Amino acid sequence: MDLHIDAGFLALLASHNLAVAATVGPDGLIVIGRDRVGRPAIEHRVIHNAFALAVSGSRLAVSHKYGITVYNDCRALAAEHPTAPGRYDAYYAPLVTFHTGDCLVHDMVATRKGLVVANTRFSTVDLIDGRYNANPIWRPPFISVPMPEDRCHLNGLALDGETLKYVTAFGPFDTAGGWRSHPQFHGVLIDAVTGRCIAEKLSVPHSPRIIDGHLYVCESGHGTLLRVDPSTGQRTVVCELPGLPRGLAAHAGIAFIGLSSQRHSSSLPTLPILARHATPIAGIAAVDLATGNLLGMARIQNPGREILDVKLIPNCMLPGVGERNDHHEFHLTESPAGAYWLKSASRPKTVPVAAPAAQANSNDSSTEQA
């Protein structure tokens, strides 16, 4: 993937000690950080149909075609990576995969009870905690019964602490694929507590978020980030962007917003953003939420790419991400007794690499459940 990271974007990562994780269609998962001398560094993992991300404590969760894989950060061994010593200051090793089936999970938040996800296929918000493949805990009042029919393209959610507060969908439709007949200006932002639509006639909305007490939503069709007053529905344009925004995370008043070029799809019409940008770009924009000013950009040069979700990894220079398949040369295995880099058993002629962890994972597991 050809990714250009400008000086402003890199300076933000350095000054706030952040790494950025993003899912990219059709490429999988990328992580953008810095190397030991401050240059941009990129990690890429091919995860087919990767979409939603969640980061909480030492856990990273990634949704994909038929499930959600949760990774655990073993920082004690990050710098000891057998083939890239000293490159990483965090390392996410695959821990568990929840098999959801083809639920089209578009958005995801980690809570103490489990993963709360936007189950787009069933038009519901679900809890993924290992008891069921998918457990609906909320649905819009206009959805009569959860069915695997993508009736309203429910695609985004925002939590306030542990409470589901807001949900986005492409329209208040209750028939199979109903949104596809009216995809452009029927989008809704729903108060999940009352069931009331607080904003309507949105153009393909995504990624509602509560940031510093304010409600934001990406209006992808217009290429804008909106601030919405939940009590009145009044919308304020924070910024106009050069791509279709989807995926939103924030730190210290700075929003990191995923941008996509327009997908060639019969499900989406010609969108209003094309009046400003004939060729929308793909990448991640860093925006000052107070002023709407663009502070930096990581731009994907390859055509036809989509950023599907964006999350921030705090207190981290560059995290590595382990492979989920069995064909990788090395795997990290962690237990209460220690953590080890192990050589694949399919390569018996080499001596296994092992190193004890400096200490057991000290994070409070009660706040890290994925």
DSSP conformation letters of 156-167? EEEEETTEEEEE
What percentage of the chain has pLDDT greater than the value 70? 90
| Non-local CB neighbours of 326 within 8 Å, separated by 6+ positions | 344
Average pLDDT of the segment spanning 11-33: 97
Q: What is the pLDDT of residue 347?
A: 53
Pick from 271, 155, 279, 172: which is nearest to 217 by CA? 155
pLDDT at 195 over 80: yes
Q: 30 pLDDT exceeds 70?
A: yes
Question: In the predicted model, is pLDDT for residue 180 greater than 50?
Answer: yes
Res 228 pLDDT > 60: yes
CA–CA separation, 234 and 99 (whole Å): 40
pLDDT at position 137 is 98
The mean per-residue pLDDT over the stretch 186-191 comes to 97
Answer whether 79's CB lies under 8 Å from 86's CB.
Answer: yes
Rounded Cα gap, residues 151 and 172, in angstroms? 9
Contact 155, 106 (CB under 8 A): yes
Q: Is the pLDDT of residue 297 over 70?
A: yes
For position 23, what pLDDT does the model report?
Answer: 98
pLDDT value at position 367?
33
What's the pLDDT at 359? Answer: 44
Distances from the Cα of 251 to the Cαs of 40, 89, 179, 350, in angstroms?
19, 20, 33, 44
Mean of all residue pLDDT scores within the chain? 91
Give residue 349's pLDDT.
44
- Could you tell me the pLDDT band of residue 181, with boundaries at 50, 70 and 90? confident
At 296, the amino acid letter reads G
Label residue 363 by pLDDT band (50, 70, 90). Answer: very low
* pLDDT at position 61: 98
Closest CA to 42 of 30, 54, 52: 30
pLDDT of residue 345: 66
Query: To 10 degrees, the CA torsion angle through 246, 70, 45, 282?
Result: 0
Which whole-number Å values give the CA distances from 192 to 57, 138, 165, 219, 328, in the listed order?
A: 26, 8, 5, 19, 43
131's CB contacts (< 8 A; 6+ apart) are none
Parallel/antiparallel/unpaired status of strands 156-160 and 163-169: antiparallel
Reported confidence tier of residue 358, pLDDT bands at 50, 70, 90: very low
Structure tokens, 203: 């153009």
Q: Who has greater pLDDT, 346 or 132?
A: 132
Dump pLDDT digits (tens) for 93-102: 999 999 999 9
**Residue 168 near residue 108 (C-beta atoms within 8 A):** no
Q: Report the distance separating Cα 188 and Cα 167, nearest Å.
A: 8
Q: pLDDT higher for 270 or 321? A: 321
